[in-house]
A and B are shown apart, each in its own frame.
Chain A
């Protein structure tokens, strides 16, 4: 929560995305506290992203609802994060959909899509895979029917909407992302496009000060494509970032050298006019060099390498059916529980479920080392399908892997020719589905689609004849891919890669309920072990 005092607004608190109770609890506390201190104050309540009747009900029970002069909502469905990225930032969407069967977030996703269509035209084609996708498509069709006024006369920007359930591809978020942005997120966590970094590497190197006072506050940086350099490197495999940075460094120093050649007033003037741009570029380069150094310290560590090796073995189908030594070692050394859960779930997904004996072994080790109460978390993971016994006795993963070419042995990290570069070998299943939908179409992979959970479908929305697109030769199609339940930065990178392919023919815009990585995702599924605040 954020509190700021302003001249015309006594107290302003912003409550976003909390459970009704925890939010109202905070409101209540600060409200009582303030009322005691200064009874003449006015109170207002503003719900972001939406009003909660449950929360109001609770405030009413506590007898404070009447103290609020305004109760308003600032409804946010899809929040733009970048030129090609929208997110609802609904942290619990996956948990609600798959554990609690609460599909409210899907309702808001559908509403967000309606808004988008009102602005950018009706999307003529809808494809989808998964139960939630089906549900959202149904709601969209219904909403369109119920609000005929929403029929608009805007020429459609999007040709296709692809709705994808996160549970169609449980594998991808569990693996460690290996793009630059993905790694920043894995290691430091990107929140609302901001990242907080350890300050040591960002100390100003001014002469005379001799580093006497190192900054102690974390360095906070905003990351988006408005920064030219970041736009260039964010989606690259981390191994390809170093060479770009050093090339840039050379260009910038050369540009600064130019000043010696500026002789005439005109030349000097021209140089000076470029100065702001050059200085911005230099500080951007300095920042990213520091970040890359921080990341390199980690990616070159033994443990990072061991962890990655195990992940890649699982994803390429090696030894997924027995207890893994490295995982056992990590448990013995009490590595963070989330790391263990990511690996065990990855193994389970890559084996279409674990053999009962293997599953029991892991469970026992985890409970004995981290505490029996985690039985609740393990249960949640089972319910979400992330950790499960192999019931059918058949492992479908190899078939899926081969048909969709999820594992590529000859991956080119520097000049990629396939999306698998984002995980240095593994091509994210979700993005492969998008790629195959564009060419040659899903009909070619019917068998595999049937192995993945939930229905796949196609819907068409009629357009007035005047708005139907007559495609110019060579013109790209635009597809909106909506990930229900979250998307990772590596998946986004893979889609951007497809957008940029010479002969790709399709550009992608990405929308999601939440930007996630394996850690934040698993965390959202873990049982909260602290007692409730009241």
Chain B
């Protein structure tokens, strides 16, 4: 870091560039000068008479330095290979090396900065003179500072001046008519900065009903005001405006957005409750309702569990202290939490997983996935087994995984399940290739051996013998299968 700064420092001190020059002429004069300068600048670009300034390329290296010349020769050779004049495409800004013709200056000359006071000036510099210089003693300035000294600017000129970054007094525009002309001029100028400035003025000086009515027929200005109110967080004014415009869904969303600014959970809950009746779209209404219900639940669970944890009597909380509060967490996180700490609770309890599943209509897939992850984390393999076992009406049990057994294996493996547990589920992976892959990856030897046997693949099975331990039960198993004369090997 310090080296970089030193380099920078060196650059600023050693180079003959001046980054900035503030001139302190007064307005009129400087405007004239600047337009003259603009004209001159065009000539400067064309003539480019050599001065004694050090040339610096875009990369900041003085032209002529070793690395510069390397790049220069490099880009030179590539473009000559291309055999066409592609000065605009050259990587490094080889300003000095280019032919002196206006059309072939590289774009990078655009940002070479001002070599000297009057040289390179772009049109926008000439048009937007960056005015308002003030050298008066500071900290307390007369109020008159924001008044425009020369007074009578027309709406159009006022807008022009503001576009150039000058401060103008708007107080002169007294009548509604004048104010609206000013606003329309600002809109026609397209500079949002100015439009907003005028809107702030109108907002301060017009009655709401009048402002709203006039903005309704001025959509561009209206959008700017809405944006402004949103940025500055003037919620009440914004809602009034949206209501006036009958934008009900936007009112609802804007109001709902407010909850993010409420830190206190009780207050947030109350606020969300108030949002339920707002005119959202049908689909969104149910989400907002769920959001409220979830926070309500979380508050109850949090109070209970914090108490439990403090009391120190629950082994689960002692062994696995909570990392964070459950407040304001997403639904699925909450479900995980409840599967972790409250798995066995009866459905009647607010904190029980089954209750959450019902209340929020959590799909089976999502539920199994979350419960599986939580129980595997606790290494409760019995629960895992129960979760994946279904009974049909005859009382037979069957293993079923709505998420696919390969995903089950993945989750268990991530939680360091022992091979005995793992292989039971690897065996259930339907796709043979996936099953073989998983079994090999996680060293579920039995599954690999059995799968090769079922595939009647003697070559693979023989090869696999090299991967199991010498003298192990697995090796014996392979040997016994290989010597089984009943099997009709395919190879």
Q: Using a CB–CB distance below 8 Å, which chain A residues touch chain B?
A: 4, 19-21, 42-43, 50-54, 56-57, 66-75, 77-80, 82-84, 86, 96, 100-104, 106-107, 110-112, 114-121, 139, 147, 149-150, 152-157, 224-228, 231, 276-277, 280, 328-329, 332, 334, 360, 363-365, 367-373, 375-376, 379, 476, 478, 499-500, 507, 509, 527, 529-532
Contacts and interface: CB of A to CB of B under 8 A. Distances in A.
B291 interface: yes
B91 A225 contact: yes
Contact of B165 (A50, A96, A372): A50
Interface string B230-272: 0111000000000000000000010011011101000000000
A531 B332 CA distance: 23
A75 B103 contact: no
Contact of A80 (B58, B193, B263, B287): B58
B297 to A, nearest CB: 13
Contacts of B38: 149
Interface stretch (B128-136, B209-217, B381-389, B428-436): B128-136
Contacts of B29: none
B162 A80 contact: no
**Which 5 residue pairs spanning A and B have beta carbons closest together?**
A225-B91, A104-B192, A118-B123, A372-B291, A101-B223
B193 A52 contact: yes
B165 A73 contact: yes
24 contacts: A20-B231, A21-B232, A50-B193, A51-B130, A54-B193, A54-B197, A72-B22, A86-B110, A96-B227, A112-B124, A114-B124, A117-B123, A118-B42, A119-B122, A224-B91, A226-B59, A227-B71, A228-B75, A231-B75, A276-B67, A368-B330, A371-B330, A372-B291, A375-B256
A369 B105 CA distance: 55
Given A102-B223, A368-B331, A80 B84 contact: no
Interface string B118-157: 0000111101101011110011110001000000000000
A150 B89 contact: no
Interface string B181-202: 0000000011111111100100
Contact of A476 (B58, B84, B331): B84
B93 interface: yes
Given A20-B231, A69-B134, A153-B42, 7 more contacts: A43-B138, A53-B162, A84-B88, A119-B122, A372-B331, A373-B291, A499-B86
Contact of B332 (A72, A79, A369): A369
Contacts of B30: none
Interface string B36-72: 0010001001100000000000110000001100110
A531 B261 contact: yes
A529 B332 contact: no
B102 A154 contact: yes
Interface stretch (B337-345, B359-367, B482-490): B359-367
- Most chain A CB inside 10 Å of its own CB: which residue of B35, B59, B330: B330
Contacts of A373: 259-260, 291
Contacts of A121: 102-103
Contacts of A115: 122-124
Nearest to B362: A368
B257 A376 contact: yes
B440 interface: no
Contacts of B105: 119
B283 interface: yes
A139 B82 CA distance: 38
A84 B92 CA distance: 10
A73 B22 CA distance: 11
A107 B190 contact: yes
Contacts of B89: 83-84, 499, 507
